[in-house]
Amino acid sequence: MSERVFVGLGSNLAEPAEQLRQAFAALGQLPATRLAATSALYGSDSLLAGQPRYTNAVAELHTELAPLALLDALQGIENDQGRVRLERWGPRTLDLDIILFGERLIDEPRLKVPHYHLQARAFVLYPLAELVDEGFVLADGRALAHLLAECPLNGLQRLQA
């Protein structure tokens, strides 16, 4: 059975917009997976002081991969695009996060879904809102419109799609 998955993309090094476009292409090449939609790109201030601004977006996948298999595949794309983990939370060429995975609630050491900081991340919520119906409700029962209304914008700016 194919499930509807949303993946958050972020980059703040090495031509971020180009990193995200390359990542969209790589997502479209994953096995047993279709890239169903992509949001516009957004600029946003880093949640951590002293880092360059990020470019962020959200992609919608329809996949038959299991959650941890998809996570492994996403980490493969991050590595292919030269991500170096110098420090946790440090600047990065590409970050791919599973935001939502169908109707599932996942709480495993490697993977928490819905993504644990979703409600504080305008750079995830606004691009996600482009891809879902008005009235969209997360698997944990929270309404996206409510999360949007409560979330600080942190310098979020919609860039050209």
Residues in Cβ contact with 72 at an 8 Å cutoff, skipping those fewer than 6 apart: none
Q: For residue 158, indicate whether it is catalytic.
A: no
Contact 27, 57 (CB under 8 A): no
Q: Is 86 in the site for ligand ROI (CB under 6 A)?
A: no
CA distance 121 to 139: 18
Among 83, 95, 114, 127, binds ligand ROI (CB under 6 A): 95
Q: Is 42 in the site for ligand ROI (CB under 6 A)?
A: no
CA distance 59 to 117: 18
CB of 10 to ligand ROI, least distance (A): 3
Q: Is 78 in the site for ligand ROI (CB under 6 A)?
A: no
Residue 92: closest CA among 48, 54, 130: 54
* Residue whose CB is less far from ligand ROI, 20 or 35: 20
CB of 117 to ligand ROI, least distance (A): 8
Q: Is 81 in the site for ligand ROI (CB under 6 A)?
A: no
Residues in Cβ contact with 88 at an 8 Å cutoff, skipping those fewer than 6 apart: none
Using CB under 6 A, list all residues that contact ligand ROI. 10, 44-48, 54, 56, 89, 95, 123
Residues designated as active site: 83, 92, 95, 97
